Amino acid sequence: MTAEIHDIADQRPHLTVAAVDGVHVIPCDLVRAVIAGDKTSTILTEPVLRRIIEEWFGIVEQ
């Protein structure tokens, strides 16, 4: 298995998402752009989206 690695040191803050297919580090600005509709949600993989929703649901379910 190979992974595409990008240096995002200048794109802080970022989220670390532990999905079933590995750990993903995603700039917060990218997530905000998806939420705002400026970028399509397909830029995030299905496992990442599922994990984000799972975490969010765990918070609101309390």
Q: Is residue 26 part of a domain?
A: yes
**Mean pLDDT value across the chain:** 90
**Regarding beta strands 14-19 and 22-27, do their DSSP bridges make them parallel or antiparallel, or are they unpaired?**
antiparallel
Q: Is residue 38 part of a domain?
A: yes
Q: Which domain holds residue 40?
A: 14-60
Token pair for 21: 């297919």
pLDDT digits (tens, 9 = 90+) for 11-27: 789 999 999 999 999 99
Instruction: Give me the sign of the Cα torsion angle 52, 55, 56, 57.
Output: positive
Whole-number pLDDT of residue 11: 74
Q: Is residue 29 part of a domain?
A: yes
Q: Is residue 33 part of a domain?
A: yes
Q: Is residue 6 part of a domain?
A: no
